[in-house]
Amino acid sequence: MNPAKVERSKLRSLTDLPNIGPAMARDLEFIGILKPEHLKGKDPVELYETLCRKSKTRHDPCVLDVFISVTRFMGGEDPELWWTYTEERKGITGSKSKVGRPGSRKSGEAEG
């Protein structure tokens, strides 16, 4: 969902979260995140690595940006567009990271 439309009091499903559409919701469900509250206290890097490991695919690094955005939101921060976290993610992963290496499959896109 577009972050501008998110209402914290109306979080019922994953697609009620900022930057989560149907495809990204399926990715989260695949790794055992079935409800928004399951994201509380989760490490976005661990979520991303779990998704890559379980799917046997190195997903687009923007997926990590989305995971940062939703874990921060569930931690109490305001909803932000996923690309707000791109520079932070680059600092986390470094330029030599395997994240987003050539041949990676793009995961469910951030939808809004």
Please name the residue that has the structure tokens 């019922």.
12
- Give the Cβ contact number of residue 2 at 10 Å: 12
Q: What is the pLDDT of residues 10-47, one digit of tens each?
A: 999 999 999 999 999 999 999 999 999 999 999 999 99
Q: Which domains does the chain have, with CATH numbers?
A: 13-93 (1.10.150)
Q: What is the C-alpha to C-alpha distance for residues 68 and 93, in angstroms, rounded to an integer?
A: 13
Whether residue 31 contacts residue 49, with contact meaning beta carbons closer than 8 Å, is answered with no
pTM to 2 decimal places: 0.82
The residues facing 59 across adjacent strands are: 105
Instruction: Inform me whether the pLDDT recorded for 107 exceeds 60.
Output: no
| Of the listed ranges 48-57, 63-72, 101-110, the one predicted with least confidence | 101-110
Whether residue 71 contacts residue 44, with contact meaning beta carbons closer than 8 Å, is answered with yes
Q: What is the C-alpha to C-alpha distance for residues 53 and 48, in angstroms, rounded to an integer?
A: 9
